[in-house]
Chains A and B, each alone.
Chain A
Amino acid sequence: MKIQYLGIENINGPLVFIKTPKEISYDEQVELILQNGERRIGNVIEVDKDIATIEVYEGTNGMNLGGVQTSLKGKPLSIKLSEKMLGRIFDGAGRPIDGLGEIESDVERSINGNAINPVCRSYPKNYIETGISAIDGLMTLIRGQKLPIFSGSGINHNLLTEQIIKQSNISDSDKFAIVFGLMGAEYETADFFKTSFKESGVLSKVVMFQNLSNDPTIERILTPKVALTCAEYLAFDLDMQVLVILTDMTAYAESLREVSTLKGEIPSRKGYPGYLYSDLASIYERAGMIRGKNGSITEIPILTMPNDDISHPIPDLTGYITEGQIVLSRDLSQKGINPPINILDSLSRLMKDGIGEGYTRKDHAKIADQIFSSYSKVQDVRALSKVLGESDLSETDKRYIKFGNEFEEKFINQGTDERRNINQTLDLALDLLKILPEEEMDKL
């Protein structure tokens, strides 16, 4: 039975305030029916004795105080889940927009999900070969990991993302799916990925949730949650290996800030709400593997660092939650190095347990440590050479400069269709290290 209430008290941006109906519960889904029959979904974000606050995901355009009917759904925001979602395109709130009809299913889950019990997790150890040297060699991606890409505006992270999707050996098996969440993305970005999926023939394995830059901003708050609820179903109910790509988390966090400000909440850093950490965690922590289940969720969120600032709250808090980060560098991008991965800022926390004998190669860890150590020395020498001039450097230092340049051009730099297996990657690294004098090899 659906009860409907007529009229609202107040509208402020995406927030609607109604007199508290008796049956309303906190965090309940509501449907707002406009006078012209249009239906919009909302969520109860605060209730007291008199007033209930509803966040409306499609915005409040065209709503008037008298004519809107509120219908309570008696459950939190949920979506219907089915294997048939593969190959389909949905809007940011999980409604089909490809004209192929509604998803019919008995399975319906709350998009908020539940936290995985830490004792039920299984520790991710299987590495994913992406065929990209910088990643495989130095920040190995592990199945079940959450590894974000920190980019900047104008740096082409889409190419890297595309290459990861195309080349990952995760996609070898049949039981493979990609869940793609676009938040505030440009039309071109959405189109780029759609074309790319079509060309590589994986379109039937992709579930796409898209909220474009001209779609309602508040709807973006739902997109990652909807996408991950779908991913959890595919991974833990249907035993699939799921790769979740979320882009752009910065747009998501900005929407969160927008709502928070309108609610009159006390801001913490840069106006973002104090619960930004908990909120981001509720998204990122849904990646992982569960003991006794075959599926996995590997998450690659992408975010653009405002003003390339890694200490900005969004990348900063993300880095504290995720298991490492892949940081892209404007300098390398301008030098024409692709993918422009700044290896020193980047890290994969799960790498240490997923490499070595039995996984990749016995000498992998040592080679990686040596590369990091030597390349970080390159930065010092480059700084010195800016002061002294390259010709005044010592012999050793000159070799460091040479190593730095060749490492960037031959190792980090890689064609977008070039696939190097782990042996090629590690051998290449060893070759490059030979540029340096032997006594500088303190990690090998």
Chain B
Amino acid sequence: MAAGKEIRTQIKSVENTRKITKAMEMVAASKMRRAQERMKSARPYAEKIANVATHLAYAHTEYKHPFVIARENVRRAGLVLVTSDKGLCGGLNTNALRLVMTQLKQWQAAGVEVDVSAIGNKGLGFMQRLGANVVSQLTGIGDTPRLEMLIGPVKIMLDAYMAGRIDALYIVYNRFVNTMKQAPTLTQLLPLTKLANEDEASLRTHWDYIYEPDAQPVVDAMLKRYIESLVYQAVAENIACEQSARMVAMKSASDNAKNVIGELKLIYNKTRQAAITKELSEIVAGAAAV
């Protein structure tokens, strides 16, 4: 009964695979909870600093920071690409990278060159295969992103913007909608144009801050932190997305494995039964001949 043994081995191996995917699912589920908490705890800072940035946009400052001045002619764009370090998380990275591809094509058509800052292994590998100009990279963030890690890559982009090497800065990441849904998102970081949208009547009057020591260093520091907080928020969301996408992917893998095992067991039992029936009929036929 060679076929029976083969099927038994196959069942065994699928069972082992299922054990692994099941374990990964559970690990991802517990990591997801923590990642979501981290994402939420980063929100107050993001809100507050956005508030301050909005106030700043309303203040009648004598000093206009380069970040808030829109440039008409975009010749070179910067792109911060946030992806996960590891795979096995469904279509998460693929979706984000597809979004990047369409954007890159648009830029190419418009004759805009691109500098990429890759955060996460998957995006880095993709950009390198593509032969894009990767100016900075950050990999191995792990499960707990810290703002400190992001300062370097962000600074390179901000410096390039200040020096006029790039005229706009974008970020691509997966926005966390809910556990089942992650939306790849492309947002413009620089120049900061959307700040003055909020309608706060109290801020419409003519006023300005007192700056200590001077307007320029304070506004510089403030806007730098604002961008950093946006990037941090994106990374935190992407990690929450990664874990939930992995959990879902691993759950469906486990379910599939369960189905495959069921089918294989059915085939195994059928062949076993067929063999027994055959043997019996042979014995009966033999007895009848005697």
Q: Do A and B bind each other?
A: no
Query: Contact residues of A with B, CB < 8 Å?
Result: none
Query: Contact residues of B with A, CB < 8 Å?
Result: none
